[in-house]
A = this chain, B = another copy of it.
Amino acid sequence: MNIKTIGVLTSGGDAPGMNAAVRAVVRTGIFNGLNVLGIKKGYHGLVHGDITEMSLSSVADIIHRGGTTLQTARSKEFMTEEGQRKALNIMEVFGIEGLIVVGGDGSFKGAVELARKGARVIGVPGTIDNDIPFTDYTIGFDTAVNTVVDAIGRIRDTTSSHNRANIIEVMGRNSGCIALHAGLAGGAESIIIPEVRYDIDEVCKRIMQGRNRGKLHSIIVLAEGVGGAFEMARTIEEKINVETRVTILGHVQRGGSPTAFDRIMASRLGARAVELLMEGQTTKMVGFYNNKVHEVDLEKVLAAKKKFPSEMYALAKILSI
C-alpha cells in the first residue's frame, strides 16, 4: 500500500520502554520514507490536535529513559462518540493514514473504536501489568519485575533475630503477574495474587516453618489486586506474634531505565507496527509470542483473557520452602 503519513501515541499508564517503541516507530518510518507524527498525551492529544512532526533527532537519547516523552493521559472526551469523531477529523486534517497506539487494553478498546469508524490502527502492548493476551510479555513488565526483585533483595538483607516478616505490596491491577514473577525471582516465602485463593493460616504456617528451620527472613509479596497489606500485617502479628512490616512500592514500579529485554522487544514491536501499516494491514496488535514478533487481530485480543501460568505458581511454592 502507498501510505505517506503515520501517527504514534502512548496511552494509559506509562511503562518503561514506551520511548524505545516510539523511537523504533519514528526511525523505521523515516527510514521507509514516511512522515511520522507524534501525538502528545494519548487520545487527548489526538482529539485536540496536539501533534508534532517527528525527526530522527526527536527520538535521540530516549531509548534508555523511563516514562514516555510523548506523555500519556486519560481522555474522557475520547470515550464519547463525539470525541472519537473529533479524533477522526484531526487524523484527516493531519493526513494520518495509520495510527500506532502503544498502551494497554483500555487503549486498545479506543483503537478498535477508531478502526470501526474507518481509521487504520495498530496496537503495541505497553503496560507493566503484562495482562494482555497473545503476547508473552508487555513492554515495561520486565523492568517492573526487576524493580520489585531489587526491593525484595534489599529487604532480605536486613535481618534480625526477631524473625520479622515483611509484606511488599506490588502493582498489576487485577493481574498477579508482577507479583508472581518477582516473588519467584526474589525467593519470596509467600506470593498472594488475585488468581489464587489464599489462606492466611498457610501464610502464617510458612513463616513459622521458616523460623523453625532457622530462616532469618520471611517475605510476602502481595498483589495490589488483593490489597490490604496493613490489615494482613496486623492479622499475622495477632495470629503468630511475629512483627510484620509493610512496604508499598507504588509508582516506583512504573519508573526506571528500561531493561535490555524491554528495550529490544519494544524496538522490534515498534518497527513491525510500521511495516504492518505499510503492508496495508489494520486493527492488529503486534505481540511477542513464542519469542517471535507476530500479529493478531485486536478484537481477538480484547475478547480473550491471558492464561494464568499456574505451573510457575506451583514452582514458586516448591522453591521457597
A-side residues, CB < 8 A to B, are: 14, 16, 23-24, 27-28, 30-31, 41, 44, 56-57, 60-61, 63-68, 71-74, 136, 142, 145-147, 149, 151, 153-162, 166, 181-182, 184-187, 213-216, 245-257, 259-261, 263-264, 267-268, 271, 289-292, 312, 315, 318-319, 321
A318's contact among B16, B28, B161, B312, by CB below 8 Å, is which? B28
A149's contact among B250, B260, B318, by CB below 8 Å, is which? B260
Give 6 A-B pairs besides A61-B156, A72-B161, A264-B312 with Cβ atoms closer than 8 angstroms. A24-B315, A24-B319, A28-B319, A63-B186, A73-B161, A267-B319
Report yes or no: B248 in contact with A158, Cβ–Cβ below 8 A.
Answer: no
Q: Which residues from B are CB-within-8-Å of A245? A: 250-251
CB-based nearest B residue for A318:
B31
A216–B147 Cα distance when bound, in Å, is 22
CB-based nearest B residue for A142:
B261
Report yes or no: A71 in contact with B290, Cβ–Cβ below 8 A.
Answer: no
Contacts A156-B255, A318-B31; A264 near B184 (Cβ below 8 A): yes
Report yes or no: B145 in contact with A260, Cβ–Cβ below 8 A.
Answer: yes
Contacts A271-B318, A319-B27; A257 near B290 (Cβ below 8 A): no
Report yes or no: A158 in contact with B251, Cβ–Cβ below 8 A.
Answer: yes
Q: Which residues from B are CB-within-8-Å of A214? A: 57
CB-based nearest B residue for A216:
B71
Q: Which residues from B are CB-within-8-Å of A321? A: 27, 30-31, 56
Q: Which residues from B are CB-within-8-Å of A67? A: 157-159
Report yes or no: B185 in contact with A255, Cβ–Cβ below 8 A.
Answer: no
Q: Which residues from B are CB-within-8-Å of A73? A: 160-162
Among all A-B residue pairs, the 10 with the closest Cβ atoms: A66-B157, A154-B255, A157-B255, A290-B290, A247-B250, A158-B254, A73-B161, A185-B260, A185-B263, A248-B248
